[in-house]
Amino acid sequence: MLPILRRNILQALFNILRIRLLISFKTYENRFLLLLFVLGIILRCIYTYYVYNNVGTSNWADDWEYLSMGKQIADGNWNPKKENAGFMVVGPVIPIVVALFTLVFTEPVIPFFIYNVVVTSLLIFVLFFLGKEVFNKKIGTVLAIWGLFFIETYKYCPHILKEPTLFLLVPLTIFFIIRTLNKEKHSILYVFLASLSFTILIHTDERFFIYLPVFFLFFFLIKPPKLLRSLKMASLWSAFVLLLMVPWTIRNYIVFDQVVILTPRTTAFTSKLFGDNISGIASHFNDKLAKQKIIDYRKEEAIKFGDQYNVFPREYGSKEARCKAFINFWQPTYFKATFIQYGYRPQKWSLAHNISGLLFYGVYLPFYFLGFYLLIKKQNCIGLSVAFIPIIHSLMHAYMVWPLERYRSPITFIVVMVGIWVLTEMGKQIKQKFS
């Protein structure tokens, strides 16, 4: 009797789920998104299989660190050691995901690739709804199509790195916050989802912690202005974030015997108020010791690169390095051989890399900057606030003197979204002029 009852309950649940799915995807819009998602899964699987089958792990770098940390956590060691550091300097999310896959599947590499494929394909849904929320359905649709083909989401699938997770979490956090602003109903739920997404984001990459005050201010963009509601939502979001940070903060205190926010890298700042600076070379900040170690690490490679392309490396001063880093951060192509960072990091892209940089980013860049004027003119405060995020991101990485493409990629969608919107607005003007 009991097995029959259990089977009937399961069948009933299956029928309910099937009906809900049919209802969810009965519209053209949802069917179209589902088609893009499935296509994204297929294309990314093909790309990942091809690259891993032909290249393997020969182009891995930081991947080995994440893999090692994850396996140590899977063995029960929550204080994993890095070969050159003595402690884990990266955010815990990716090592924990690796640990989970290790416990479930023993060998985590292929499951992690599948994870990357899924999260980068889910990005298609997020981009659509974000574009729709900030601008309109047309912008969301074009942005979702762009997300299907965005080459950076393919590049990192056959790796054990944080980038695929960042590609999803950055727009997802922004979407939940904006959804809170636009929808008073269920706003508490969206506030919690926004805080959960942001917490996972900063535990993936601690640099995004800088957006805590930025996103706090986002809640004051509610129209019409409602100060009490804005303050309530912002305070609630912050409280959820701080509460969700407690477990890893406790772990850090046990390991380091001092308060460490997210990772040891943050102690480059917090040590000025409390505790010791234990960030070392991993700080990514422009102290003399870190700078010299980075230069020494690259110098031999830079000299060989310079001899090959007839360019000569030289050390940049702090101001020059930061100014160049700001330009390099926004730069969509590197057709000519050059040096970035402190003047000893070689940079030259292949033709395919340069073309993809133009197609998926560079062509939208001038329209993105034009977008600030149009957003101000149309008094789109939410769109303008989102558009400022890449500016903040570029200033942060220019200050750190880390102008790498992989650090820009998670916020590239904002440049593209604003660029697409500007192009559609220009199209409307042209149509009206000739109609």
Report pLDDT for 430. Answer: 87
Beta carbons of 162 and 178 less than 8 angstroms apart: no
d(CA 403, CA 165): 20
* Other Cβ atoms closer than 10 A to 333: 15
**Count of alpha carbons within 13 angstroms of residue 225, beta-carbon side:** 4
The structure tokens 């706090």 sit at: 216
Whole-angstrom Cα distance, residue 29 to residue 314? 54
Q: Which of 410, 324, 429 is nearest to 370 (CA)?
A: 429
Cβ-Cβ contacts under 8 Å for 85 (sequence gap 6 or more): 280, 282
Contact 175, 147 (CB under 8 A): no
Measured in degrees and rounded to the nearest 5, phi and psi for residue 103 equal -70, -35
Rounded CA gap, 394 and 327, in Å? 9
User: In the structure encoding, which two tokens stand for residue 388, read together?
Assistant: 């400022």
Token couple for 178: 């904006």
DSSP state of 110: H
pLDDT of residue 5: 47
Lookup: tokens for 190: 């969206």
pLDDT tens figures, 271-294:
888 888 887 655 555 567 677 778
Q: Which residues of the chain have pLDDT under 70?
A: 1-26, 83-85, 280-287, 289
Give the pLDDT of residue 21.
Answer: 44
What pLDDT is stored for residue 8 in this prediction?
A: 53
- Secondary structure of residue 89 in the 3-state scheme: coil
CA 302-306-299 angle, 5° bins: 20
> In terms of DSSP bridges, do strands 338-340 and 345-347 run parallel, antiparallel, or are they unpaired?
antiparallel
- The per-residue b/e assignment along 95-108, b for 16 or more CB within 10 angstroms, e otherwise, is bbbbbbbbeeeeeb
The Cα–Cα gap between 22 and 237 comes to 34
Q: What pLDDT score was predicted for residue 85?
A: 63
The span from the CA of 116 to the CA of 97, in Å, is: 11
